[in-house]
Amino acid sequence: MLNLAKRLVSKGVHVTLATTDVANVSTNFISNQNIKPKSPGISVEFFSDGLRLEFDRVKNSKTFGDSLSTNGSRNFSHLLKRLITEGKKFHCVIGNPFLPWVPGVVAEHDIPCAVLWIQACAVYSIYYHYFRNPKLFPKLDNLDESINLPGMPTIRVRDLPSLILPSSDISPKAVREFIHNLDKVKWVLGNSFNELEEDVVRSMVALHPIYPIGPLVSPSLLGKEETISGNVDLWSAEHSCIDWLDKRPPSSVVYISFGSILVLPQKQIDSLALGLKNSNQPFLWVIKPPDKGAERKCGELPPNFLEETKDRGLVVRWCPQEKVLTHQALACFITHCGWNSTLETIVAGVPVITYPEWSDQPTDAKLLVDVFKVGVRLETEDGVAAPEEVERCISEITSGPKAAEMKKRAVELKEAAKKAVADGGSSDQNIDQFIAELIKESSC
């Protein structure tokens, strides 16, 4: 959302970014004090989700979700009313798809509503067809069953977003409500670009179109100057890893990171560690530490691992991922395939080894390997890739017969991404069209 705000501000649009107050007070994530535009155009507002700031929203996710839906939606409505009373005129509210109550609240204030779809356009298409036309899907208990959807290659049930599978312990309620509330949404903006998912985007035109305006990554990744400064990291990055990378040969380092949420089970940690050690390849590994008071063993490195790999490996808690991905020493990225990391690695032109876990990650892995053709997939048993499989994939992507081809394709997509957001590019045109329609809407 912040990257979208920056893009809109660069077009002369004034943006108010609204989020819950816990993001400001508890994590100091973002505030008017640490977002300082070089020119006016963006402000930040907060509303309460209805819970005390010290309430543990992670351990009590259902209570949090219920309160956000009821109290949070009401407080957001009050915020809108206050800002309008103070003289602000909103031409549009852009919501997060996983807050399906936003379109209804916005409609009460007679403001046009848009949604920023923050996953792949392909995932948007899958959810749309699943909740609107479920007959297109077989029974989902056979993971190897094939599925044919408009604009997509043949996929298997295991490639679907995990939230809609019978094995999921997380309800797809929010996504279901979002799809069913699409009649209240005038624009669905996609964090992707047309050249990456052209067939899927075209297949949705006659249903409920999605307009790619991405990739919404940091301007620095795209070779552009940052127009809005501010600290928006949730953790302090360990910049010493860049100095470490500077001492490594070009295209030699395996980078491993699984995002900001996941703490890996111990079996996965042990298997990855042994595979990395046996690969004899330099590596930079970002490991999110387990939460305080975690009941089961997880996220711990095997004994002696650091000592045995100290000459060619570095393990950190967090790192400046964009700087790492664009570093010349990088050879490949072992990733969980979250869409943000997927886009960042595409923009950086880095081949990937996919190790998906849940949600949209299995679909993103399918896209990266079989559609975008920039990576290989770790085969797993009970969710764990054997050390030999880790070695195999590292070897295949760094020196295998298709390694050069994957690198070439990654560089091609990198250039396509930059062209999409450049002046006159496909995503740039879609943003211009969106703004033009906002102006037309407000004059009616």
185, 284: one domain: no
- Report the pLDDT value the prediction gives residue 37, as an integer from 0 to 100: 42
- Report the pLDDT value the prediction gives residue 298, as an integer from 0 to 100: 66
46, 110: one domain: yes
Helix/strand/coil for 204: coil
- 171: confidence class by pLDDT, cuts 50, 70, 90: confident
Q: Are 215 and 141 in contact (CB under 8 A)?
A: no
Q: Domain containing 58: what range? A: 2-232+422-443
pTM for the full predicted model:
0.92
Please give the single-letter amino acid code of residue 236. S
40, 103: one domain: yes
Q: What is the tens place of the pLDDT at every residue in 256-269?
A: 998 766 678 889 99
412, 426: one domain: no
Q: What is the tens place of the pLDDT at every residue in 313-324?
A: 999 988 889 999
Across the range 289-297, mean pLDDT stands at 59
34, 152: one domain: yes
- Report the pLDDT value the prediction gives residue 263, as an integer from 0 to 100: 72
Percent of the chain's residues with pLDDT above 70 = 90
- Report the pLDDT value the prediction gives residue 431, as an integer from 0 to 100: 98
Across the range 32-56, mean pLDDT stands at 76
Q: What is the tens place of the pLDDT at every residue in 362-393?
A: 999 999 999 999 999 999 999 999 999 999 99
367, 380: one domain: yes
195, 250: one domain: no
Q: Which two tokens stand for residue 93?
A: 């509210």
177, 299: one domain: no
321, 196: one domain: no
Q: What is the tens place of the pLDDT at every residue in 236-286?
A: 455 789 999 999 999 999 999 987 666 788 899 999 999 999 999 999 999
- Report the pLDDT value the prediction gives residue 23, as an integer from 0 to 100: 77
Q: Which residue has the higher pLDDT, 218 or 138?
A: 138
Q: What is the CATH number of the domain that holds 193?
A: 3.40.50.2000
Q: Which residue has the higher pLDDT, 306 or 237?
A: 306
296, 152: one domain: no
- Report the pLDDT value the prediction gives residue 231, as an integer from 0 to 100: 41
Beta carbons within 8 Å of 423's beta carbon, 6+ residues apart: none
Between CA 272 and CA 437 the distance in angstroms is 50
198, 156: one domain: yes
228, 293: one domain: no
Between CA 273 and CA 387 the distance in angstroms is 8
Q: How many domains does the chain have?
A: 2
